[in-house]
């Protein structure tokens, strides 16, 4: 592993329309995400909230061909930006991509690619995940998803179709299980999930964090924790995968972190 594609993903959101997109974008701006607008071949930062509505109107695309599915979708919104107030990652590009495939089937994703080639990259990953956790808390009550997570998207492949069926295929690093998931699997099941932090959400959902950091130096402890999650779910007759927490490549482990 030399890089991580770290994203916050929210699936089957109840509240996603053009007005909500503007509210979501404004909330992200309040959390320190500076969007970019391309003008005359240059990416220029959007510095005031008053510009957000115009930016959403400009980037909002209806009846667009979606390469991933090979079909036309209702609408999508793709907006790039970068996080302010985080000195180690302020140059990292963050992309917000919201896709409405058809009624009530949608995916909100925001994140970016971070290198993991040296010990100094660990601080960047820590800041990046802290930023995404902050965003998740701001957006969950606005978007009202069935399910959400923060994880490496190259490993966690759950999607909006899984959400529509209330499937639980993967336990990520951060998990946001909405009220519908809690109704199906039981609050006791989610609150008992192995991890470092679990809390009830105001809408009846559950917020779960697997470990204090997305990436750890301790390979043995990470393997044990992943196994505990898989075994716990198996005891309740659910087969899941768990890839987080991730571990440092061996070449970095050889160095002092």
pLDDT of residue 257: 37
SS3 per residue for 16-78: CCHHHHHHHHHHHHHCCEEEEEEECCEEEECCCHHHHHHHHHHHEEEEEEECCCCEEEEEEEE
Element (H, E) at 98: strand 94-102
10-residue mean pLDDT profile of the chain (257 residues): values are: 86 89 94 89 86 92 78 88 78 86 88 81 89 96 96 93 96 98 98 97 97 92 97 98 88 47
pLDDT of residue 254: 47
Nearest to 222 by CA among 253, 205, 250, 244: 244
pLDDT of residue 256: 44
Show me where the domains of the chain are located. Answer: 3-253
pLDDT of residue 86: 76
pLDDT of residue 63: 82
């Amino acid at each position: 592993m030399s890089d991580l594609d770290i994203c916050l993903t929210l699936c089957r959101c109840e509240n996603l329309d053009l007005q909500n997109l503007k509210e979501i974008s404004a909330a992200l701006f309040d959390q320190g995400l500076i969007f970019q607008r391309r003008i005359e071949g240059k990416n220029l930062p959007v510095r005031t909230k008053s510009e957000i509505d115009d930016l959403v109107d400009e980037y909002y695309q209806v009846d667009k061909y979606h390469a991933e599915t090979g079909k036309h979708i209702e609408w999508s919104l793709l907006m790039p930006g970068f996080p302010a107030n985080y000195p180690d990652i302020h140059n990292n590009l963050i992309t917000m991509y919201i896709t409405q495939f058809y009624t009530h089937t949608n995916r909100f994703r925001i994140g970016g690619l971070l290198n993991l080639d040296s010990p100094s990259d660990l601080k960047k990953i820590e800041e990046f995940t802290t930023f995404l956790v902050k965003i998740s808390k701001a957006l969950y009550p606005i978007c009202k998803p069935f399910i959400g997570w923060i994880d490496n998207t190259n490993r966690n492949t759950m999607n909006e179709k899984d959400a529509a069926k209330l499937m639980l295929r993967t336990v990520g690093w951060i998990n946001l299980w909405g009220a519908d998931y809690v109704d199906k699997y039981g609050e006791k099941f989610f609150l008992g999930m192995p991890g470092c932090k679990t809390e009830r959400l105001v809408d009846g959902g559950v917020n779960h964090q697997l470990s204090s950091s997305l990436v750890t130096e301790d390979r043995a402890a990470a393997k044990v924790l992943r196994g505990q999650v898989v075994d716990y779910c198996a005891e309740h007759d659910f087969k899941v995968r768990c890839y987080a927490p991730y571990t440092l490549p061996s070449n970095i482990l050889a160095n002092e972190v």
